[in-house]
Amino acid sequence: MPESSGRFPDEDSGWILSSAPPPDRWDDWVEYDAASWPRKVERRYALVPTICFNCESACGLLAYIDKFTGKIRRFEGNPVHPGSRGRVCAKGPATINQVNDPERVLYPMKRVGERGSGRWVRVSWDTALDDLAGRIRAAIVEERRNEIIYHVGRPGYDGTMDRLLQAWGVDGHNSHTNVCSAAARLGYALWHHSDRPSPDYERADFILLLSAHLETGHYFNPHAQRIIEARARGARVAVLDPRLSNTASMADHWLPTWPGSEAAVLLAMANVIIDEGLHDRDFVRRWVNWEAYLKAEHPEAYQRSQERGGSQPGGDGIEVFFDTLRQVYAEFTPEFAAAESGVPAEKIIEVARELGKAAPAVSAHIWRSAAAGNEGGWQVSRCLQWLVILTGSFATPGGTMPASRDKFVAAPFSKPPAQTDWNDLCWPLEYPLAHYEMSFLLPHFLKENRGRISTYFTRVYNPAWTNPDGFSWIEVLRDEEKIGCHAALTPTWNESSYWADYVLPMGLAPERHDIMSQETSAGAWIGFRQPVLRTWRERQGEAVELSHEANPGEVWEEDEFWIELSWRIDPDGSLGIRQWFESPYRDGEKLTVEEYYRWIFENSVPGLPEAASEEGLTPLEYMRRYGAFQVKSGDYRYYDRPVALPGVDGTTPSTADSESVTAESESITAESESVTAESGATGRGPEKDPESGIVRVDGDVVGVEIDGEVLEGVPTPSRKLEFFSETMCEWGWPDQAVPNYIRSHVHWQNLDRDAGEVVLLPTFRLPTLVHTRSANAKWLVEISHRNPLWMHPADAGRVGIATDDLVRINTRIGHFVVRAWVTEGLRPGIIACSHHIGRWRLPASPGADRWHSSVVELTEDGNKWSVRQLEGIKPFGSEDPDSSRIWWSDAGVHQNLAFPVQPDPISGMHCWHQKVRLEQAHPGDRYGDIVVDTAKSHAIYLEWLARTKPAPGPDGLRRPLWFSRPVRPIDDAYLVKKKESAEDSP
């Protein structure tokens, strides 16, 4: 292999470019053809970078384009991508399967006959675009903007759709977040506004995972490689997981907690750390809003702390806080946590000590896992981050950074104003603190006639399959009164597109443009997803006007689709939409995708123009050539930076840095605005609130005074890390204002084990698959195509089940039948089933790929639905000879169909874990059978809904202004109007 050019080593990590072609040879890379061995037959390749789209990590890929055939031969890792550093998981190279999948959709299709009849005709893009544009234009002109909804599963972009929807003036963004990460996000956001963690694994001394990052996780490959490196240099790893994941098996400590007991364990660890003096007293004194807590909840203690100097550097008022914590959290002894979790007290103490001694280099992560499974799961991430803060490991080398500091969102050439509407179908009053849209409840909202959708876009989203309670989705997807037109933007057929009106083929990872940035490590980078064949052709000097000219069939890329659609919605510009899609370089002309990214790279990415210039390239050429750029290095202890104040050193306040480089910027601004509105101060110099220490200039919060110095702080109302959340008090949850343990709905006390009741964990990922988007990758499917039910021998013995036996799992709305796998890899009382598998299609109609789906019959009787598998996976004929060599037949079981919705009353997160009854299959049961009653699922939805505390909150708001919100509307839209308040509030 050729040696590195030496231009791109990551000096911090010691990584050397040695396992991939150096960039200066990417135009003409020569290899011998492996299939021709022992003859030496040369193959010449052009290597073009792009970004993987088989999970959220956004690893860099290199497309190997055969210069003779002009076809993509394979994908490997891009060695100059700062996040993935040339490495990929199995799903990255499998992108080639998706590109060559004979089952993929290549032309726009329109349904004929009734929705769901399974009959389709090929139509032109003009037909589809004109029809959709007419519908959307009518909705906008007739002030029915809230009838337009764009529902995305995996957003492969940063900001593009926000810009589009705001150009339309539509509050119609809907996401998958509440079946994924909403709970963890709330826990983090309450601490420091940013709602995700970014652990600095590379430099960590102790890594605490409530996840399975070595095999899946957020962000799998970039994180896994850094955790492995940390371990190799001696970092210790502890994993809390009821299941022996690959990650747990590699850890120094596996703590198999009972599902939902994790917060109790973490609070017990906090007690050990405080009792043994392993906490960072001074960090907590300076940066935690402990005085506000004492003042609000323990006024006598507050008085005592003030008498002992409060938070002043020389005093020891902070000790009163720690004394108070000892009393408030006295219940959380290691013994109590052991009783709750089943993990021995000695193990909890041992891990707590190791963790405390590793301060301030403790990296911790949770994303789905316990947060996504349990009622109150958001308190698990809140307690986890408490350990990080307590040990002073917040935003330190080796510690845990808020994600927004390790992410860069580049601004486009123009930004439409925020929309004025608020869409209750996405943001209902009942969930004012949800992170984010209550998307998985949409069918129930539509059934309750809370609204109607005239145009519904789904993108990288298969709601009937991915969400719980899929039959409720099918009931509304097929109802033209509730959803006027459904356009599925998808590369492949899926269970939901079956009920669409249009199926519009969209490009895969190497067939479209996007910019990605993920918090994979300390610092921030951007990656450029690009259509590799288009780029290669352009390198050859060929003119390519639109990406679909280089893509297979008539596959469009989304950017060009949305530009064209917007242009047709407002062809003469009279609606004010067209202006946002006019070129920044050519007056009044339609924007091209090249111009869109060219402007961003020339103007919005610090350092990129200079780096490009050094190589004699334009910024766009640089990104097309290398596919990634490191924007900044680790922003450690950013909160501790002094703020330059006007009149003090003659400069303006230095908040620009924090706002220019992070995804938080929009919300920081919004927060500042709200504070401005409250203070009413204008045109004045620095003003300090004597109690909180918050400093404003012209009414805008610029920092907080600590130990006599004005520092940047974190973007919370107190500008400090909020142990105590006044927001939770104001919005009706004073009992949850501080890190706390909420007993899960699947707490062991709620189980009748003798009656076969167990807890089902349906959330774990497989390393080789992601939801519905990897089903058209034959290599991956060959590896993973079954989802047997994990169960402990004790449970199997109790019910009389052996490996491969059929078992019936009874949920509250029905049951499903699956095969057992008896293993000691999880604790007794718990069963587990991966959610990636169980794809299905209906007979003789387009549906999920044949590589990975069974043929099923759906039967409907009133509210009762049933699924029966008619045949499994079989070989089939196609232009890919491998399709006739398929040897596997099992497609797994679609368990999510049998799950009721269980929205956490506070975070809005669907609580995936559930109490189920395990029994032997009944006579007549067949593998893959599913039976569901959607009337029961609606009743359960109402049960959970009744436990919410709806808006309005303080000042008549729908949601705290300082919370972030995707596609944020104007502040006035946050107000619950009087009429709504009277009529709509439950």
Which DSSP category does 882 fall into? G
* Distance from C-alpha of 242 to C-alpha of 380, rounded to nearest angstrom: 15
- Nearest approach, Cβ of 887 to ligand SF4 (angstroms)? 25
User: How far, CA to CA in Å, does 484 sit from each of 149, 172, 452, 454, 662?
Assistant: 11, 15, 8, 4, 38
- Nearest approach, Cβ of 490 to ligand SF4 (angstroms)? 18
* Cβ distance to ligand SF4 smaller for residue 434 or 508: 508
Helix (H) or strand (E) holding 533: helix 532-539
Where are any strands of DSSP class E within 182-256? 197-199, 206-210, 236-240, 253-255
Contact 498, 490 (CB under 8 A): no
For ligand SF4, what does the binding mask look like between residues 163 and 202, x meaning CB under 6 A? Answer: ----------------------------------------
- Nearest approach, Cβ of 909 to ligand SF4 (angstroms)? 23
- Nearest approach, Cβ of 492 to ligand SF4 (angstroms)? 16
Q: Are strands 72-77 and 109-112 parallel, antiparallel or unpaired?
A: unpaired
Contact 808, 915 (CB under 8 A): no
User: How far, CA to CA in Å, does 845 sit from each of 309, 493, 606?
Assistant: 75, 10, 51
- Nearest approach, Cβ of 553 to ligand SF4 (angstroms)? 24
Calculate the CA dihedral of residues 396, 400, 636, 83 and round it to 10 degrees: 130
For ligand SF4, what does the binding mask look like between residues 50 and 79, x meaning CB under 6 A? Answer: --x-xx-xxx--------------------
* Cβ distance to ligand SF4 smaller for residue 57 or 333: 57
Smallest CA-to-CA distance from 177 within 517, 440, 391 is with 440
- Nearest approach, Cβ of 89 to ligand SF4 (angstroms)? 3
Positive or negative, the CA dihedral 930, 936, 941, 947 is negative
The interface with ligand SF4 within residues 200-239 (CB under 6 A) comprises 220-221
* Cβ distance to ligand SF4 smaller for residue 476 or 766: 766
* Cβ distance to ligand SF4 smaller for residue 255 or 509: 509
Residues 6+ apart with CB under 8 A from 61: 49, 50, 51, 52, 75, 76, 77, 78, 88, 92, 95, 509, 510
* Cβ distance to ligand SF4 smaller for residue 96 or 695: 96
* Cβ distance to ligand SF4 smaller for residue 89 or 318: 89
Which DSSP category does 522 fall into? S
- Nearest approach, Cβ of 55 to ligand SF4 (angstroms)? 3
Binding residue count for ligand SF4, defined by CB under 6 A: 13
- Nearest approach, Cβ of 981 to ligand SF4 (angstroms)? 45
Q: Which two tokens stand for residue 545?
A: 């006007």
Per-position b or e across 781-791, b if 16+ CB within 10 A of its CB:
bbebbbbbbbb
Positive or negative, the CA dihedral 671, 677, 682, 687 is negative
- Nearest approach, Cβ of 213 to ligand SF4 (angstroms)? 11
User: How far, CA to CA in Å, does 737 sit from each of 279, 481, 571, 733?
Assistant: 21, 43, 51, 7
Contact 661, 655 (CB under 8 A): no
* Cβ distance to ligand SF4 smaller for residue 59 or 165: 59
Which one of 48-56, 535-543, 827-835, 885-893 is the stretch in contact with ligand SF4 (CB under 6 A)?
48-56
* Cβ distance to ligand SF4 smaller for residue 218 or 405: 218
- Nearest approach, Cβ of 785 to ligand SF4 (angstroms)? 18
* Cβ distance to ligand SF4 smaller for residue 56 or 495: 56
* Distance from C-alpha of 485 to C-alpha of 500, rounded to nearest angstrom: 7
- Nearest approach, Cβ of 394 to ligand SF4 (angstroms)? 27
Which DSSP category does 965 fall into? -
Angle at 476 between CA 473 and CA 477, to 5 degrees: 80
* Cβ distance to ligand SF4 smaller for residue 220 or 622: 220
- Nearest approach, Cβ of 986 to ligand SF4 (angstroms)? 41
* Cβ distance to ligand SF4 smaller for residue 55 or 855: 55
- Nearest approach, Cβ of 76 to ligand SF4 (angstroms)? 10
- Nearest approach, Cβ of 77 to ligand SF4 (angstroms)? 7
Smallest CA-to-CA distance from 47 within 75, 89, 8, 68 is with 75
- Nearest approach, Cβ of 221 to ligand SF4 (angstroms)? 3
* Cβ distance to ligand SF4 smaller for residue 52 or 848: 52
Angle at 694 between CA 689 and CA 700, to 5 degrees: 100
Q: Which two tokens stand for residue 272?
A: 């050990």
* Cβ distance to ligand SF4 smaller for residue 686 or 767: 767
First CA to last CA across the chain, in angstroms? 67
* Cβ distance to ligand SF4 smaller for residue 45 or 53: 53
* Cβ distance to ligand SF4 smaller for residue 88 or 945: 88
274 binds ligand SF4 (CB under 6 A): no
The interface with ligand SF4 within residues 341-380 (CB under 6 A) comprises none
User: How far, CA to CA in Å, does 734 sit from each of 293, 429, 740, 949?
Assistant: 12, 19, 11, 12
* Cβ distance to ligand SF4 smaller for residue 98 or 257: 98
Torsion angles phi and psi, residue 23, rounded to 5: -55, -30
Smallest CA-to-CA distance from 868 within 881, 880, 859 is with 859
For ligand SF4, what does the binding mask look like between residues 421 and 460, x meaning CB under 6 A? Answer: ----------------------------------------
For ligand SF4, what does the binding mask look like between residues 751 and 770, x meaning CB under 6 A? Answer: --------------------
- Nearest approach, Cβ of 58 to ligand SF4 (angstroms)? 6
Strand 109-112: give its sheet, edge to edge. Answer: 119-122, 109-112, 502-504, 483-489, 453-459, 148-152, 173-174
- Nearest approach, Cβ of 57 to ligand SF4 (angstroms)? 4
* Cβ distance to ligand SF4 smaller for residue 89 or 848: 89
* Distance from C-alpha of 77 to C-alpha of 50, rounded to nearest angstrom: 10
Residue type for position 150: Y
For 767, the 3-state DSSP assignment is coil
* Cβ distance to ligand SF4 smaller for residue 391 or 517: 517
* Distance from C-alpha of 359 to C-alpha of 639, rounded to nearest angstrom: 18
Contact 155, 174 (CB under 8 A): no
For ligand SF4, what does the binding mask look like between residues 79 and 118, x meaning CB under 6 A? Answer: -----x---xx-xx--------------------------
Q: Are strands 757-761 and 830-832 parallel, antiparallel or unpaired?
A: parallel
- Nearest approach, Cβ of 908 to ligand SF4 (angstroms)? 26
Interface residues with ligand SF4 (CB under 6 A)?
52, 54-55, 57-59, 84, 88-89, 91-92, 220-221
